[in-house]
């Protein structure tokens, strides 16, 4: 059975360690900083076997070199369409990552939007999605397009509702704040905010989260909901014609007015 351990990094990043109940081995997801990973490996007495990268941003790849200095034989998986130093296993849409010593297998989805070549890893009831989908939010667009990001989120939305989503930032409370701008009368957001503060006050992350809950609270997955459409049209000062149009209005609004 899959086990996932969060390793906090920088101010709000999470690096994920994937293991199972039987093996003292781990795969490392998006190590932006080597130091906390090395400390966690020593504390847990774990041996790394691979690094899984979702995209090229420094806070996701910055620790690769030092990890390879400590563990020279690590395989480094990552997106074929991005320039990532030390990559040994370039991956595109439909590829498979078999971590045989862990007994775990993941399929790769190429989901442009946050970056042009962003990939995610899906398997074992879990999605490691980098900066594409966040709890109650989604990533910004860097070098790609809003259209790409919208369609990438729709692909994620088609996964089973019980999927556990492992994003890489602690943005949940902030994202709920924006969602309340969009849907001030959505009481489910209030409940979720309370749950998040209970977790944070107890020293726990607010992620992972169950994908199905996002359909009740994440405005970027609710662009077909009348209240969300109405808010987008109020902000844009015009009619919107498609859910993709609503999405674009909301993402631009968040970029310019909220963040």
State the architecture of 2-258 in CATH terms. Answer: 4-Layer Sandwich (3.60)
Pairing between β-strand 89-91 and β-strand 75-79 as defined by DSSP bridges: parallel
Note the pLDDT tens digit of each residue in 170-221: 999 999 999 999 999 999 999 999 999 999 999 999 999 999 999 999 999 9
Pairing between β-strand 25-29 and β-strand 89-91 as defined by DSSP bridges: unpaired
pLDDT attached to residue 21: 80
131 known member of a binding site:
yes
pLDDT attached to residue 105: 97
pLDDT attached to residue 23: 78
pLDDT attached to residue 172: 98
User: Which distant-in-sequence residues (6+ apart) come within 8 Å of 195 by Cβ?
Assistant: none
Pairing between β-strand 96-99 and β-strand 104-110 as defined by DSSP bridges: antiparallel
* 154 phi, psi to nearest 5 deg: -65, -35
Angstrom distance (rounded) from CA 251 to CA 220 = 8
What's the pLDDT band for 165 if we cut at 50, 70, 90? very high
Mean pLDDT of the chain: 97
Question: Which of 130, 133, 135, 126 has the alpha carbon at shortest distance from 205?
Answer: 135
Angstrom distance (rounded) from CA 165 to CA 3 = 13
Angstrom distance (rounded) from CA 18 to CA 113 = 25
Note the pLDDT tens digit of each residue in 69-121: 999 999 999 999 999 999 999 999 999 999 999 999 999 999 999 999 999 99
pLDDT attached to residue 224: 98
259 known member of a binding site:
no
pLDDT at 259 over 70: no
224 known member of a binding site:
no
DSSP string covering the chain? -EEEEEEEETTTEEEEEEEESS-SEEEEE--S-HHHHHHHHHHHT-EEEEEE-----HHHHTTHHHHHHHSTT-EEEEETTS--TT--EEE-TT-EEEEGGGTEEEEEEE--SSSTT-EEEEETTEEEEETSEETTEEPPPSSS-HHHHHHHHHHHHTS-TTPEEEESB--HHHHHHHHHHH-TT-HHHHHHHHHHHHHHHTT--S-SEEHHHHHHH-GGG-TTSHHHHHHHHHHHTS---SHHHHHHHHHHHIIIII-
241 known member of a binding site:
no
Angstrom distance (rounded) from CA 112 to CA 185 = 32
Angstrom distance (rounded) from CA 55 to CA 34 = 17
57 known member of a binding site:
yes
pLDDT attached to residue 22: 82
148 known member of a binding site:
no
55 known member of a binding site:
yes
Note the pLDDT tens digit of each residue in 1-50: 899 999 999 999 999 999 988 879 999 999 999 999 999 999 999 999 99
Average the pLDDT over 221-246 and give the result. Answer: 98
Which sequence positions are flagged as catalytic? 55, 57, 59-60, 114, 131, 169
Average the pLDDT over 232-240 and give the result. Answer: 97
Note the pLDDT tens digit of each residue in 111-160: 999 999 999 999 999 999 999 999 999 999 999 999 999 999 999 999 99
């Amino acid at each position: 059975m899959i086990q996932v351990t969060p390793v906090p990094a920088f101010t709000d990043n999470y690096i994920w360690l994937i293991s199972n109940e039987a093996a003292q081995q781990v795969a490392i997801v998006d190590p932006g900083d080597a130091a906390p990973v090395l400390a966690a490996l020593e504390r847990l007495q774990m041996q790394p076997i691979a690094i899984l990268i979702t995209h090229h941003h420094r806070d996701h790849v910055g620790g690769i070199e030092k990890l390879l200095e400590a563990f020279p034989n690590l395989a480094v998986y990552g997106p074929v369409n991005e320039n990532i130093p030390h990559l040994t296993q370039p991956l595109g849409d439909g590829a498979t990552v078999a971590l045989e010593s862990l007994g775990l297998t993941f399929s790769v989805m190429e989901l442009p939007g946050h970056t042009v070549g962003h990939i995610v890893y899906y398997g074992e009831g879990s999605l490691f999605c980098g900066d594409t989908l966040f709890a109650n939010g989604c990533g910004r667009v860097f070098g790609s397009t809003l259209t790409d990001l919208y369609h990438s989120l729709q692909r994620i939305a088609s996964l089973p509702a019980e999927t556990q989503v492992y994003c890489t930032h602690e943005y949940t409370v902030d994202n709920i704040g924006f969602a309340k701008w969009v849907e001030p009368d959505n009481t489910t957001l209030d409940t979720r905010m309370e749950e998040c503060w209970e977790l944070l006050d107890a020293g726990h992350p607010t992620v992972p989260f169950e994908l199905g809950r996002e359909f009740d609270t994440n405005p970027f997955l609710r662009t077909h909901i009348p209240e969300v459409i109405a808010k987008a049209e109020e902000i844009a000062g015009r009619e919107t014609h498609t859910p993709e149009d609503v999405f674009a209005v909301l993402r631009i609004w968040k970029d310019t007015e909220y963040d």
